[in-house]
Amino acid sequence: MEKCFLPILMFFILGILSGSVVKAEDPYKYYSWTVSYGTASPLGVPQQVILINGQFPGPTLDVVTNDNIILNLFNKLDQPFLLTWNGIKQRKNSWQDGVLGTNCPIPPNSNFTYKFQPKDQIGGYTYFPSTAMHKAAGGFGAINVYARPRIPVPYAIPAGDFNLLIGDWYKSNHKGLQQYLDSGRSLGFPDGILVNGQTGTTFSGDQGKTYMFRISNVGLSTSFNFRIQDHKMKLVEVEGSNVDQNMYDSLDVHVGQSASVLVTLDQPSKDYYIVASTRFTRKILTSVSVLHYTNSHTSVSGPIPAGPTYQVHWSMQQARTLRWNLTSNAARPNPQGSFHYGTITPTRTIVLSNSAYLINGKKRYTVNGVSYINADTPLKLADYFNIPGVYSTNTIQAFPNGGAPYLATSVMPASLHDFLEIVFQNNENTLQSWHLDGYDFWPVGYGSGQWSQASRKSYNLVDALTRHTVQVYPNSWSVIYVSLDNQGMWNLRSAMWERQYLGQQFYIRVYNPIKSLANEYDIPSNALLCGRALGRHS
């Protein structure tokens, strides 16, 4: 009897354990998206746009921290296509990053299934096409990563969520814009600003209730200032960081950045202007939407609220007021400030200077004198299959050297767990915006003129927020700290798409010679192969 009972007991225990494992697994969410062309008239002129499931902008991804996203993307365009998930860190998984350095583009009439998690992340993000000039035609949308129910957020749950995808827009076809750039010319000044694919739209709410406005700059080149007539905005989250809840009359949002504000409808019952206008531009473009109180019978009236125009110092001062909320939880039940970035000595300092040059008679943009060109094989595949000659790790240097500019497929090597100080030095008269895939980072300092070691005295080493995109003001510098804890091949690029397309980007290869699934996932079984990786076996 005892011999018979033990196997039954073991079977019962194993059944409980296996059941608990299944129950503990993070949820799966499945999506099927089709990318196609369509016609729209966002600025009053019919033009070709990129639709996702027939929508412009594309569908919103509403997910919860650590959800497993399985997204099958069908490409019905006449060109290869990729989506990148702006701000999603792709932990140990640069295979899913969706840029040309990590993925083969999806050929026309083909599909690829992305598989990734917003691992230990919360907040508002976006996705957009990373290929050619597709971003100028649409294909972008919002990603909302909500906290798990057992993780409290540091504010009362709002009555509703509004996504505002705001960005500059051109009337020209994206292929025509690409030909402009390929010929060595610039895109010129945009034709207008869109909000959710329109020149303006209406957002409705009940008087006395509070709503969250998730604001993202999905444009190609232009910062904007956002404001709501007669209403204060409480900033609560920036690119995954819960922040000190300061009140703002208006907020600057630069290309590639996102921010979430709470707005209480505490004014008399009527309609109010919602305004986005360009910053640091001689000509001011403005988009006007409407905040409609549901019990309102009075249309918007009066002058449109004016915003700042060129005031660089004003914007820099506002940027310094964005601080991490050190007492709140984020994606996990521990305070956001428990990682004391300010007490860590950087292992390396890297100074990156952006410039515009003529190379071979055509306009190009550079980082430390190197203008990036895409290889015929994704760098990640070249790395995995040990294919030589695809990229170079000795072209781009850690400091500007003043040499003649040149073209290269540039990769900067780094070691897993390096802690970097990266200085973005902008000696041009235009504002720059820089994004790093695979990470968030601490923007610890902003300043005018040339950065020097003495500039470190002005760093915020206590409560700088974390984010994925940082602005660099004209003739100024910005500094970030970043902990390289995510192995892979990661794109560091200008978020301003003309500059990215014409070379202002490179890749950081974060590497550990000991191969381990604890550091990085293996190549996906469905990975597309192209270029010199074609015919290899994953």
Q: What is the pLDDT at residue 338?
A: 77
Q: What is the DSSP string of 83-96?
A: EEEET---TT-GGG
| Domain parsing of the chain, residue ranges | 25-146, 153-328, 341-533
Query: Does the structural domain 25-146 have CATH classification 2.60.40.1730?
Result: no
Q: Indicate if the pLDDT at residue 511 is higher than 90.
A: yes
The CATH superfamily of 153-328 is Cupredoxins -  blue copper proteins (2.60.40.420)
Residue predicted with more confidence, 6 or 141: 141
Please determine, for residue 18, whether its predicted confidence score (pLDDT) is greater than 50: no
In this prediction, residue 438 carries a pLDDT of 98
Question: Cα separations (Å) of 448 from 273, 427, 472, 534?
Answer: 34, 10, 10, 48
The CATH code for residues 341-533 is 2.60.40.420
Give CA–CA dist 243/465, Å, rounded.
Answer: 7
pLDDT at residue 333, rounded to an integer = 86
Strands 406-408 and 370-372: what pairing? parallel
* pLDDT interval class at 13 (50, 70, 90): very low
Query: Average pLDDT of 218-227?
Result: 98
**pLDDT tens figures, 291-335:** 999 999 999 999 999 999 999 999 999 999 999 999 998 898 888
Q: What is the mean pLDDT of residues 218-236?
A: 98
pLDDT-derived band at 3, boundaries 50, 70, 90: very low
Q: What is the pLDDT of residue 335?
A: 86
- Asked if pLDDT for residue 390 goes beyond 70, the answer is yes
DSSP 3-state assignment of 423?
strand
CA-nearest of 173, 11, 158 to 77 is 173
**By C-alpha distance, which of 44, 74, 75, 38 is closest to 57?**
38
pLDDT in tens, 53-93: 999 999 999 999 999 999 999 999 999 999 999 999 999 99
Domains 25-146 and 153-328 share a fold: yes
